[in-house]
Structure 1
């Protein structure tokens, strides 16, 4: 198991390219179960979650082959298998995205209830309700969801939940409805760019989907999907994390392979806090330059579904605001309990208080290096941001969380001048440490 050793206080400077979006690549890969021909995907990030889903798809009869640094070839070679076991599904929540395609194309699915980051209760009842509306027989037993249908049929389905729509639920139901008979209308659909990307991918293979990116998606069922080629959109969460890291270190970073329209709420929020964000266009290439040239102003925000500030950036923004010139207030309307990173930030000197369903961040803090532990994917990124801005050396453990969603973030930060080192998690491997120091002190 690895850990990161980060020596803070060095402004990040330079140019960095974001990878393809994990949250788009995973449901697109799962949707390949629907196809009758080979699919070639580009801009697929090399991540632990992509590897896990590749293993699961191979178990389900899909030949998955890496044909380049960020390219995958997927081809269904065996349609007899329909079980997604616990040992694979527990590693990430996006594994549930195979449920809809399996029922739609093979008539049967047995999928373990999903795992993933520990960020609060995330039921899949909307997924199941949607599949039942399409005509599937559903049973939950022994930790597995079992679903079956001769052929799904179109229906009108609402995916409204207590905290907004469901992104993976929208992906699951939309993919399943592609091969259903008749017309399916999804209301209260998720608006996220990753849902639009999945719809564009499916349409390129012969699906008939309209309304993606709006609350109402219409799917006219087709008999079959062909193979094809597709390029995954840039990862907006990685891009914004790099922007935040640049601002936190008082540096200046140019980010390429980015779609600023996917980050309008985040860019607005960062500008409100006093960061300098410039969008540059050169021919077909778009770049975003993020810089921190002054002390940030305190702000108040809530993480909400797209087009709001993403919950996947709440932790990183919380870390950034520890240095603001005053008190900031943060709530999370998507996952109200997603504040496990707070205790670790406080170990680094942050002053953050839980208040109601959010936190108050006491500003004007100068963070200091400390040993901390990541609790989930985005918390690990927040700790990296804090460590880069802190004085002294920090050690971040459980960075396997980071590897689930960021393609070698440590190397990208190094390329920008960050003093980041990935080493084996062992007490005697920390630079400058003496594992016998406590014995000598005694």
Structure 2
């Protein structure tokens, strides 16, 4: 079982004045490199935990208060708009990362279709709506085009809980077959999908009877959601293993919860230290959530030191890694395997490492579009399907600045990391993708010494 992240909080209610996040205009990041980073970095709250936690507030009476939410993300903004479109009352304090949600006034079972197209995370609401109201009509999810993310697991999972579910006109229509509500059932996931696991977990919390789910995802975000649900009165057992048991018919009430640090953001900055041959520290961080990446960076020659329980220093200075950093192979997979979200920035690092290294993507078959953009910087990458051969030769590729386009969130940040290591100026368009999942990325890099600017086009 993974260690859970907790902090003590004592904050007054109600929240300060509500703020709304404005949708950013098209912008460009301009990076001049190569650069050396140094300093300490604060890690934001987890986006991948925040979105299902916000959806779970639909199950709760009264108000739920979430702390450490990454409020300056377009994905978070889209999820809040989805909740409001259903009738929820939402108060946001951007400065402190607090979000207060009251869903007592929710009556609609169909969220705004336009907002649903903006984030994959919006689809989480279908589970809570279906189990609370006995029906739901939800548009198919948007997000990055990184491969097929079919909803058949959701459909078959809902059917196992006594629902009728079908796709029509770009929406999923679901309702309780008995006309009253969901019932407990048994379901085996063909693949340990995080989204399907979390959605079915939420749906089962208010179903009549016991639900058993097997081959479920074991990611930290699943544990996080289970903990929030249990704090709110649910009965979820087995989170962090491949089997879940949920006792339904629970009455859930609002609770107060702290979102843990974002392991993908932390991993991205660890890779930033490595690709720039720098030394930076960061906190808060949960090292066990990034054990796979830490092992690979140690193979490359990085020195990784843990201070206290939540601070990590990554040093890739030449005194640690030598003149040329050693490469390594990766294959993505469900937790505790190598995170698919860290594959693109890791590929960027490998372009600067010695030797020929294999990157195999086993989660999303189209998550290789960043390879073409990295090639524009001079990287030697050959892609065949979902596998890439990254060759750095004896000294690692010498990258040079170029004009690039970010096609998705994690692929976009890989271009930023490569730009930090490249000689000259790199310009990156399409950074709205990056803003979906990285809070103030350019500002944080500036604090570490990077020459990076955001330009409005």
Task: Please give the TM-score of this superposition, normalised by the length of structure 2.
Answer: 0.90
Matching residue of 2:401: 369
Conserved in 2, the CA contact under 8 Å of 1:5 and 1:393? yes
1:17 partnered with 2:42: yes
Matching residue of 1:315: 344
CA deviation profile, 1:312-350 (whole Å, cap 9, x unmatched): 000000000001111111001111321000000000110
Pairwise CA distance, 1:84: 2.2
Conserved in 2, the CA contact under 8 Å of 1:79 and 1:106? no
1:159 partnered with 2:189: yes
1:379 partnered with 2:411: yes
Conserved in 1, the CA contact under 8 Å of 2:211 and 2:246? yes
Matching residue of 1:52: 78
1:233 partnered with 2:232: no
1:354 partnered with 2:378: no
Conserved in 2, the CA contact under 8 Å of 1:119 and 1:338? yes
User: Could you say what secondary structure the match of 1:83 adopts?
Assistant: coil
Query: What is the CA–CA distance in structure 1 between the aligned matches of 2:84 and 2:388, rounded to whole Å?
Result: 43
Query: What is the CA–CA distance in structure 1 between the aligned matches of 2:432 and 2:94, rounded to whole Å?
Result: 23
User: Could you say what secondary structure the match of 1:405 adopts?
Assistant: coil
CA deviation profile, 1:64-111 (whole Å, cap 9, x unmatched): 111352110000142320112331111111111000000011111000
Map of 1:53-68 to 2, 5 A cutoff? Answer: 53-68=79-94
User: Could you say what secondary structure the match of 2:454 adopts?
Assistant: strand
Map of 1:106-145 to 2, 5 A cutoff? Answer: 106-145=133-172
Conserved in 2, the CA contact under 8 Å of 1:277 and 1:289? yes
Conserved in 2, the CA contact under 8 Å of 1:185 and 1:218? yes
CA deviation profile, 1:170-220 (whole Å, cap 9, x unmatched): 010000101111111110010000000000000000011110010001111
CA deviation profile, 1:193-251 (whole Å, cap 9, x unmatched): 00000000000000111100100011111331011100011100000000100111111
Query: What is the CA–CA distance in structure 1 between the aligned matches of 2:170 and 2:254, rounded to whole Å?
Result: 33
Aligned length: 419
**5+ residue gaps in structure 2?**
1-25
Task: Please give the TM-score of this superposition, normalised by the length of structure 1.
Answer: 0.93
Distance of aligned partners of 1:60 and 1:185 in 2 relative to their CA distance in 1, 3 Å threshold: same
Pairwise CA distance, 1:298: 1.9
Query: What is the CA–CA distance in structure 2 between the aligned matches of 1:139 and 1:320, rounded to whole Å?
Result: 43
Query: What is the CA–CA distance in structure 2 between the aligned matches of 1:104 and 1:355, rounded to whole Å?
Result: 43
1:272 partnered with 2:304: no
Map of 1:289-308 to 2, 5 A cutoff? Answer: 289-293=313-317, 294=321, 295-308=324-337
User: Could you say what secondary structure the match of 2:285 adopts?
Assistant: coil
Query: What is the CA–CA distance in structure 1 between the aligned matches of 2:414 and 2:234, rounded to whole Å?
Result: 39
CA deviation profile, 1:20-43 (whole Å, cap 9, x unmatched): 100000000001111111000001
Pairwise CA distance, 1:115: 1.2
**5+ residue gaps in structure 1?**
426-442
